[in-house]
């Protein structure tokens, strides 16, 4: 019992070190602006079932993440960088605890602790757990759904666990839509095919309970939305998304090769241990319950991977929900290496992992020294991370090559945590010094007259529009400007220019550089001509 408490404290400590510092110190990036705008406009409109972005109906994603952002925003009182990212950080911690609680009667507490730590220390997790995007929360609900169902499979079947599994699956659906079904059924269908019980499971009462829980959650959002908008907008959005992401490009094979390389990099360090599962001899002398559990985890890992490899528009982040399975499989292989010293691959994997940790300690120390030199005001945070990693790395170097005791393994976790913490802090400080979106937004706000609305013809730069003081409305053409206003200010896309405005009375315009390169036009025109 005492060991379990220490493990929980260790998981909390690693999480707090990696995912809380500097969470709201730098401006929006990537898709964060879109999520922030959706949440803010949902709060302003009071319509929690109907999402909008730039005052335009947004159905590409269900509103689940906006709800989480608004819940976090109740603390600061408004949508901020911190409140947009905090749900991802909390979801990451919750997923780590679900990993720790997975199959306690099959995996011992040290294996599960090491798995939870590996999950928190995985490159992709350290990125997604600090971003105001959907992936971390989506992975939590997918894993919770699978975890609840597996707890029923591994012990005495219980209808409530399957119903709860369906409820969690519904939560995943409210975050990202149909991909939730891919991870759920992409795991259970091959698993029950392996057990030769697929049909009996599909028609079972337990599966029915899961579907009931799923439909109960989805209907909370879907029924009011259909009453408001009908089926057509949803159907059009779904077909557009499938068409946009499902069309092969001329460089399809190159894209898939890049996907695999990015995925392997994102799964480090746990991916080092994964090849242990390929080859029949590695399954020998393994308890049947452990073998069944591994099969379940491998189904979660391989089926979505195969699907997205043949999906032209796939991105690495789409596969993020498989990371808990990678961590558990890697942790079990780690424990196996302590017992099977004669296995050649396990011998190699152990030393690759050791080399990874030791090199990481050295690189962290060098990076900390460089960062402290360039950012002396943040010397302490860099020196602490780099110094601890260096000292632990020197100690591990003397013990790690031929030893895999639990204290040495904890030392590895601490080194990796210091490595990632120092890298994150360096990135936070660097981004904190950049104010591209804020500066550009200030230029726009200074140029815009005291009008209650600003129009835009470009569907990009969500982070930029988040920082603009004036409410921004998206239009598809200048002819969509509403009548009755004496003056309009429009943000035009980079392809625009005076030649495109000949039909309108242009009184003034200005070009403004936008973040990450490019240019936009700010034009001011009088009431529309005929």
What is residue 285's predicted lDDT score, i.e. its pLDDT?
61
Least confident of 133-142, 323-332, 396-405: 396-405
Segment 317-327 mean pLDDT: 92
pLDDT of residue 143 exceeding 90: yes
Segment 465-475 mean pLDDT: 87
Q: Which two tokens stand for residue 100?
A: 């720790």
Report residue 111's pLDDT band, with 50, 70 and 90 as the boundaries: confident
Contacts of 192 by beta carbon, 8 Å cutoff, 6+ apart: 198, 201
SS3 of 269, please?
coil
CA distance linking residue 234 with residue 240, whole number of Å? 10
CA distance linking residue 419 with residue 360, whole number of Å? 7
User: Would residue 320 be called left, alpha or beta, if left means φ above 0 and alpha means ψ between -120 and 50 degrees?
Assistant: alpha
What is residue 530's predicted lDDT score, i.e. its pLDDT?
44
Segment 500-529 mean pLDDT: 69
pLDDT of residue 211 exceeding 90: yes
What is residue 480's predicted lDDT score, i.e. its pLDDT?
81
pLDDT of residue 129 exceeding 70: yes
% of residues, the chain, pLDDT over 70: 74
Report residue 155's pLDDT band, with 50, 70 and 90 as the boundaries: confident
**How do residues 439-465 score in pLDDT, each as one tens digit?**
888 888 888 877 778 888 887 788 888
Residue with more model confidence, 104 or 357: 104
CA distance linking residue 33 with residue 198, whole number of Å? 43
Report residue 479's pLDDT band, with 50, 70 and 90 as the boundaries: confident
Report residue 21's pLDDT band, with 50, 70 and 90 as the boundaries: confident
The values of phi and psi at residue 456, to 5°, are -135, 140
Q: What is the DSSP string of 365-416?
A: HHHHHHHHHH-GGGHHHHHHHHHHHHHHHHHHHHHTTT---HHHHHHHHHHH
pLDDT of residue 146 exceeding 70: yes
Segment 190-214 mean pLDDT: 91
CA distance linking residue 32 with residue 13, whole number of Å? 26
Least confident of 73-87, 233-247, 459-473: 233-247
Query: Over the chain, what is the mean pLDDT?
Result: 80
pLDDT of residue 113 exceeding 80: yes
pLDDT of residue 139 exceeding 90: yes
């Amino acid at each position: 019992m005492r060991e379990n408490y220490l493990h929980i404290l260790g998981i909390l400590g690693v999480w707090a070190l990696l995912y809380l510092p500097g969470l709201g110190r730098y401006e929006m990036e990537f898709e964060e602006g879109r999520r922030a705008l959706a949440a803010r406009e949902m709060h302003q409109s009071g319509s929690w079932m109907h999402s909008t972005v730039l005052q335009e109906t947004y159905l590409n994603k269900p509103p689940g993440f906006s709800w989480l952002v608004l819940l976090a925003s109740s603390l600061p009182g408004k949508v901020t960088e911190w409140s947009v990212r905090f749900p991802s950080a909390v979801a990451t911690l919750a997923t780590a605890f679900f990993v720790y609680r997975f199959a306690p009667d099959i995996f011992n507490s040290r294996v599960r602790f090491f798995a939870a730590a590996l999950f928190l220390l995985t490159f992709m997790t350290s990125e997604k757990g600090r971003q105001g995007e959907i992936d971390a929360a989506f992975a939590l609900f997918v894993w919770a759904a699978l975890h609840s169902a597996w707890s029923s499979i591994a012990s005495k079947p219980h209808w409530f666990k399957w119903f709860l599994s369906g409820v969690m699956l519904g939560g995943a659906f409210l975050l990202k839509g149909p991909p939730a079904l891919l991870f759920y059924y992409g795991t259970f269908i091959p698993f029950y095919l392996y057990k030769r019980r697929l049909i009996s499971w599909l028609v079972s009462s337990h599966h029915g309970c899961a579907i009931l829980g799923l439909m109960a959650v989805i209907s909370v959002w879907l029924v009011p939305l259909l009453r408001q908008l009908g089926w057509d907008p949803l159907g059009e959005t779904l077909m557009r998304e499938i068409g946009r992401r499902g069309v092969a490009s001329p460089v399809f094979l190159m894209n898939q090769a890049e996907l695999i390389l990015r995925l392997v990099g994102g799964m480090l360090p746990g991916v080092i241990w994964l090849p242990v599962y390929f080859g029949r001899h590695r399954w020998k002398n393994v308890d049947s319950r452990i073998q069944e559990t591994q099969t379940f985890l491998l189904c979660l890992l391989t089926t979505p991977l195969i699907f997205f490899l043949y999906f032209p528009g796939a991105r690495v982040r789409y596969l993020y929900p498989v990371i808990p399975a990678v961590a558990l499989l890697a942790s079990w292989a780690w424990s196996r290496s302590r017992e099977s010293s004669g296995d050649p691959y396990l011998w190699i994997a152990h030393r690759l992992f050791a080399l990874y940790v030791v090199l990481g300690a050295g690189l962290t120390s060098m990076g900390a020294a460089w960062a402290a030199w360039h950012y002396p005001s943040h010397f302490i945070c860099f020196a602490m991370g780099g110094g601890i990693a260096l000292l632990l790395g020197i100690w591990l170097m003397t013990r790690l090559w031929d030893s895999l005791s639990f204290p040495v393994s904890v030392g590895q976790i601490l080194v990796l945590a210091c490595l990632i913490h120092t890298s994150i802090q360096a990135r936070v400080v660097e981004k904190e010094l950049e104010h591209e979106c804020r500066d550009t937004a200030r230029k726009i706000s200074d140029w815009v007259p005291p009008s209650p609305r600003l129009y835009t013809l470009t569907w990009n730069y969500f982070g930029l529009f988040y920082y603009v003081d004036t409410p921004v409305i998206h239009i598809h053409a200048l002819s969509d400007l509403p009548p009755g206003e004496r003056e309009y200010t429009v943000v035009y896309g980079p392809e625009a220019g005076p030649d495109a405005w000949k039909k309108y009375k242009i009184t003034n315009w200005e070009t403004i550089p936008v973040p990450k390169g490019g240019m936009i036009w700010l034009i001011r025109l009088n009431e529309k001509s005929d």
